[in-house]
Chains A and B, each alone.
Chain A
Amino acid sequence: MSLYDLKPGQQGYIQSVKGDDKLAKRLLALGCIEGTPVKVKLVAPLGDPIVISLRGFDLAIRKRDAKNILLKEVKEA
């Protein structure tokens, strides 16, 4: 299960971040660490990228990169 699988409005808890080293390091520095609640807020008009929300701020990332943010559990909205 990854962030890619969440629908807008759904929330999950981060397990880990994998993929591109540079991007992973940035996401970690922004607080994408284990146990952090993260929500998919909305999807861009053309279907990609998406806006996610964590620790009180919003971040735009591509769906492809969202696949690399693994979740451990999902809270049903």
Chain B
Amino acid sequence: MITAALLGNPNVGKTTLFNYLTGSNQYVGNWPGVTVEKKEGYIDNNIKIVDLPGIYALDTYSNEEKVSKEFLEKGNVDVIINIVDASTLDRNLYLTLQLKQFNKPIILVLNMMDVAKSKGIKIDFQKLESKLGVKVIPISASKGIGLEDVKKLLKSGNFYSLSNENDYHYIEDEKKNYRFIEEVLAEAIVKEKEEGMTIGDRIDSIVLNKFLAYPLFLLILYVIFKLTFTWVGQPLSDLMDEYVIGGVVSLLESLLENSSPWFKSLIIDGIVGGVGSVIVFLPVVMTLFLGISFLEDSGYMARAAFIMDRIMRRIGLSGKAFIPFIIGFGCSVPGIMSARTLESEKDRKLTALLVPLMSCNARLPVYALFASVFFPGKESFVTFSLYLLGIAVAIFIGILFKNTIFRKGEEPFIIELPQYKMPEFKSLMRNTWEKGKGFLKKAGTIIFSMSVIVWLLSNFNFNGMVGMEDSFLAHIGGVISPIFKPMGYGTWQSSVALLTGLMAKEVVVSTMGVVYGADLQNILLQYFTPIAAYSYLVFVLLYTPCVSVIAVMRKEFGSKMMAFSVVYQLILAWIASFLVYNLCSLILG
């Protein structure tokens, strides 16, 4: 088995290369001790490729750098694949020099040859090879050019012959290293024209324009929202509900005609009712993730961080922390994990505490259900208001925490604005499908088992099968329901749904699907007033997110922080929901 370490700066096409080389033969995990994602993949089961995090150097004190360095030292690496951006070679080669100190053969993959060409950069590959003592392969990953050559070389094993006789060795002096790179490049590169305004500059002059930046930013979010709820996601979900779930129910009803009532109830009310009520939201969830992946891949995310920095500073964070927030609209778990890239422990913690206030995908099914029942015709507006409320509360809590438990000086803010690029269709689909798969997996595991448990608890007590009003669930709900009385939804059913919703927020819907039965929409109208329904949604928005978030919080920051986040969000949700219910009741009478 050959082990190859894949390294490079951020935004140089590392992921594209990795995906090409390993196909679907990949495994995602975590580096031990630190919370940096570890990705491994295989070519033909005998070449292992380890995708190391995107970094600029090995010695500027980040976890990503520590992980990479340690792996290069102890991971039995046979060869280093160092992918670089051919259009900004000097900065990219700085890392290459640092990699040379490990005395391993290096394959230098020059990506973005097309961009370099358009910038008028001509590269003498042989010169580069001999000067640096590495093997050079030019590619254009986004156009699929040259990728096969990388694979071929790895398979042939010819990189072993690469000499390490090159006499330049990295030293602890940035200036000398850059001088060396400049000397090499002076011989190996010809720049035929001076750079004028690039297309990226033109886009930036609009996207980052003083007057247009924020309207455009809101427009982009609005379009993603519209796609999700009006144009694509929701209509597909409706179709799925009507034809797929409806079809399955009628099919099962005819199949189970002669089986015992309890079994029929378990299958139709319990499993289909529970899992089905969640699974119909798959198109909505995938559309939103598609939108977020598009932003991530296009290069816009860093721009958003740039224009939001000033605002984020008000709540004690940097613009970089804005990225976890946007990802948090998809799911809090990757949102919290992406806080890893922030500069200080305090930034990471504060961000992790606020990210769950961004309304994640899992909460959508709850909004969608309630909005369609209680606010027909105003679904988008109601849903959008909840997203805004989440943001407003995050700002408020951010300022509160900044001035109390998170007092600190400002951290430096530095972020590269990568070149814009058209996201590749394949990688978008891949990303979106991965997320969709996660959602389906959740539906098949947590939501499935919760549906069965809820069905059992709602149909039984110690005396056997009983009516729902006498069930275990009604008793459990009855115990906690007084907590929710002041907000207008003190029924045992709604209380139980909040409790089971801790497993995953979609479970709020699936639980209701089980306890209220098939005619959920009409039944809900009997149990909630519109104001109570909205204040219920406010609670769902703000209360402790699911077990996955609690688990990731513990993994990243320890038990104390986990406990704090659980408790503070419960209190926050209660207060906010209480205020909404009582103020709205007062005003609207």
| B426 sits at the interface (CB 8 A) | no
**Nearest B residue to A57, CB-CB:** B88
Question: Which residues from 295 to 346 on chain B have a C-beta closer than 8 Å to any C-beta of chain A?
Answer: 302, 305-307, 309-311, 319, 343
Across-interface contacts of A30 in B (CB, < 8 A): 56, 91, 94
| A51 sits at the interface (CB 8 A) | yes
Assess whether B91 is in contact with A55, with CB atoms less than 8 Å apart: yes
Interface string of A45-65 (1 = CB under 8 A from B): 111110100011111111011
**Stretch of B44-52, B143-151, B363-371, B410-418 that contacts chain A:** B410-418
Q: A29-B174, A55-B90, A61-B414 are in contact. Are A45 and B60 (CB under 8 A)?
A: no
Q: Within the complex, which residue of A22, A45, A51 is in contact with B213, where a contact is CB–CB below 8 Å? A: A45
| A27 sits at the interface (CB 8 A) | yes
Assess whether B57 is in contact with A34, with CB atoms less than 8 Å apart: no
| A33 sits at the interface (CB 8 A) | yes
Q: Within the complex, which residue of B311, B412, B415 is in contact with A46, where a contact is CB–CB below 8 Å? A: B311
Assess whether B60 is in contact with A59, with CB atoms less than 8 Å apart: no
| B204 sits at the interface (CB 8 A) | yes
Report the Cα distance A46→B307, complex, angstroms: 8
Report the Cα distance A47→B213, complex, angstroms: 12
Across-interface contacts of B414 in A (CB, < 8 A): 23, 26-27, 59-61, 65
Report the Cα distance A15→B144, complex, angstroms: 41
Assess whether B413 is in contact with A29, with CB atoms less than 8 Å apart: no
Across-interface contacts of A28 in B (CB, < 8 A): 174-175
Assess whether A29 is in contact with B60, with CB atoms less than 8 Å apart: yes
Assess whether A60 is in contact with B204, with CB atoms less than 8 Å apart: no
Across-interface contacts of B119 in A (CB, < 8 A): 56
Across-interface contacts of A56 in B (CB, < 8 A): 87-88, 90-91, 119, 195
Report the Cα distance A33→B211, complex, angstroms: 34
Across-interface contacts of A31 in B (CB, < 8 A): 90-91, 94, 178
Report the Cα distance A60→B322, complex, angstroms: 14
| B210 sits at the interface (CB 8 A) | yes
| B61 sits at the interface (CB 8 A) | yes
Number of interface residues of B (CB under 8 A): 40
Name the distance in Å between A72's Cβ and chain B's nearest Cβ.
Answer: 14
| A74 sits at the interface (CB 8 A) | no
| A6 sits at the interface (CB 8 A) | no
Assess whether A60 is in contact with B305, with CB atoms less than 8 Å apart: yes
| B387 sits at the interface (CB 8 A) | no
Question: Which residues from 1 to 39 on chain A have a C-beta closer than 8 Å to any C-beta of chain B?
Answer: 20, 22-23, 25-31, 33-34, 36
Assess whether A42 is in contact with B205, with CB atoms less than 8 Å apart: yes
Report the Cα distance A64→B343, complex, angstroms: 17
| A44 sits at the interface (CB 8 A) | yes
Report the Cα distance A42→B310, complex, angstroms: 15
Name the distance in Å between A15's Cβ and chain B's nearest Cβ.
Answer: 12
Assess whether A62 is in contact with B309, with CB atoms less than 8 Å apart: yes
**Nearest B residue to A36, CB-CB:** B178
Assess whether A62 is in contact with B61, with CB atoms less than 8 Å apart: no
Name the distance in Å between A69's Cβ and chain B's nearest Cβ.
Answer: 11
Assess whether A65 is in contact with B306, with CB atoms less than 8 Å apart: no
Interface string of B398-410 (1 = CB under 8 A from A): 0000000000001
Report the Cα distance A41→B311, complex, angstroms: 21
Across-interface contacts of B205 in A (CB, < 8 A): 42
Assess whether B90 is in contact with A60, with CB atoms less than 8 Å apart: no
Q: Within the complex, which residue of A26, A27, A51, A55 is in contact with B306, where a contact is CB–CB below 8 Å? A: A51
Assess whether A45 is in contact with B214, with CB atoms less than 8 Å apart: yes
| B183 sits at the interface (CB 8 A) | no
Q: Within the complex, which residue of A22, A26, A60 is in contact with B309, where a contact is CB–CB below 8 Å? A: A60
Q: Within the complex, which residue of A33, A42, A62 is in contact with B412, where a contact is CB–CB below 8 Å? A: A62
Assess whether B413 is in contact with A49, with CB atoms less than 8 Å apart: yes
Report the Cα distance A28→B179, complex, angstroms: 12
Name the distance in Å between B100's Cβ and chain A's nearest Cβ.
Answer: 15
Assess whether B204 is in contact with A26, with CB atoms less than 8 Å apart: no
Name the distance in Å between B82's Cβ and chain A's nearest Cβ.
Answer: 15
Report the Cα distance A51→B571, complex, angstroms: 41
Assess whether A45 is in contact with B61, with CB atoms less than 8 Å apart: no
Across-interface contacts of A34 in B (CB, < 8 A): 175
Report the Cα distance A55→B85, complex, angstroms: 12
| B187 sits at the interface (CB 8 A) | no
Q: A22-B61, A44-B306, A51-B208 are in contact. Are A59 and B415 (CB under 8 A)?
A: yes
Assess whether B417 is in contact with A65, with CB atoms less than 8 Å apart: no
Across-interface contacts of A46 in B (CB, < 8 A): 307, 310-311
| B59 sits at the interface (CB 8 A) | yes
Report the Cα distance A33→B181, complex, angstroms: 13
Q: A31-B178, A33-B175 are in contact. Are A60 and B417 (CB under 8 A)?
A: yes
Q: Within the complex, which residue of A45, A57, A59 is in contact with B210, where a contact is CB–CB below 8 Å? A: A45
Assess whether B412 is in contact with A22, with CB atoms less than 8 Å apart: yes
User: Could you list 21 A-B pairs, sorted by A, with CB under 8 Å?
Assistant: A22-B343, A26-B57, A28-B174, A28-B175, A29-B57, A29-B94, A33-B178, A42-B204, A45-B208, A46-B311, A49-B319, A51-B208, A55-B88, A57-B91, A57-B417, A59-B414, A60-B413, A60-B415, A60-B416, A61-B413, A62-B413
- A44-B306, A60-B302, A60-B413 known; 10 other A-B pairs, CB under 8 Å? A31-B90, A33-B174, A45-B210, A45-B211, A46-B307, A46-B310, A49-B319, A56-B87, A60-B416, A62-B412
List chain A positions with a Cβ less than 8 A from chain B: 20, 22-23, 25-31, 33-34, 36, 41-42, 44-49, 51, 55-62, 64-65
